[in-house]
Amino acid sequence: MADPFEVRLRFTNLLTHLSASTTASQKVAHYAMKHRDMDEDLHSCILENLERGHNMNNRANIMYFLEHHADVNLKEGGHKDYVDMVRRDITRIVEAVAQSGANVKVVRRVVSGMGEKGVLESDVVAGIENTLKTKEEAMARLLEDGDGKGTETGDAVDEAESATALQTSAAIVAADGAPESNRVTPKTVGSHSVRQASSVSKVDKRAIEQRIEEDRERNKRLRESMWAVVGDDDQELEKMWDEGSTLGQDEHVIAEEEAEEREQFVRYRRALLSR
């Protein structure tokens, strides 16, 4: 039997370095399946990484992983207890991923997907949607307040702009999940504060570039999945039958006219060949 501490440490490391690729999600999901006897402990690792992690992109990747995690365990041979745990703690998960209004679109997409697959009930999805709208409105008000601070005039314009830049950076870091004690605050205005803002901006730029690449990878997989066809022909036939419109008198008339035209062409072709 594997050492529980080692299993937990390994799983936490996998979550911390989780990327947007399908391979990475499969690797973490298979590891959780392999150690299903420690399901509660591994699920607590997921919650801890979401609530204590300071990387907004990593929280988004874990959120997307949870959808794949649920898919794997809903299939035959899966561990249904993992799905029950996700259902039980979905509100807590949403609060952790979408804290400060960040990752709202990510949460909305994943929760909607879970609702369509039957992982979450419709009333739960509706409740989460209301929560996300509230977070979006709060973030919009925060951004509007930040934009309104750069309208000062006089000799203090340059200093006000520097302070506003720092406040914006601090808001981004705060949205990224940093503790209150570690958040960047514009205590001073001048060369020192400008250097702080520059440092934070560089970190944010790298995070933004990473997020763009990961979103591009996810959108690519989403487009590929739209063209995926299941191997059940009966299911495809039933879908086509349900989506097809009912035949009316006009359709029958058109079909008869087309059949008559084909017969005329066949007779004409035979007449040419018999000459």
Question: CA separation (Å) from 182 to 116, 177, 178, 219, 239?
Answer: 39, 10, 6, 34, 55
Q: According to the model, what pLDDT value does residue 230 have?
A: 59
| pLDDT 10s digits, 18-27 | 988 888 999 9
Q: According to the model, what pLDDT value does residue 13 have?
A: 94
Both tokens of residue 218? 């996810």
Greater confidence (10 vs 238) lies with 10
Classified as helix, coil or strand, 53 is coil
Place of tokens 């699920």: 43
Q: According to the model, what pLDDT value does residue 235 have?
A: 74
Q: According to the model, what pLDDT value does residue 187 have?
A: 46
Angle ∠(44,47,51) on CA atoms, nearest 5 = 140
Q: According to the model, what pLDDT value does residue 167 have?
A: 44
- Mean pLDDT computed over 26-46: 94
Phi and psi dihedrals of 177, rounded to 5?
A: 95, 10
Of 155-159, 194-198, 220-224, the one with minimum mean pLDDT is 155-159
Q: Which amino acid is at 110?
A: V
Euclidean distance between CA atoms 10 and 4, whole angstroms: 10
Q: How many residues does the chain have?
A: 275
- Mean pLDDT computed over 221-225: 73
According to CATH, the topology of domain 4-229 is 1.25.40
Kindly write down the DSSP assignment for every residue of 199-262, as one continuous string.
HHHHHHHHHHHHHHHHHHHHHHHHHHHHT---S-HHHHHHHHHHHSPPP-HHHHHHHHHHHHHH
Q: According to the model, what pLDDT value does residue 97 have?
A: 92
Q: According to the model, what pLDDT value does residue 179 have?
A: 42
**Local confidence band at 162 (pLDDT 50, 70, 90 cut-offs):** very low
Q: According to the model, what pLDDT value does residue 245 have?
A: 73
Every domain of the chain and the residues it spans = 4-229, 246-274
Place of tokens 């977070």: 135
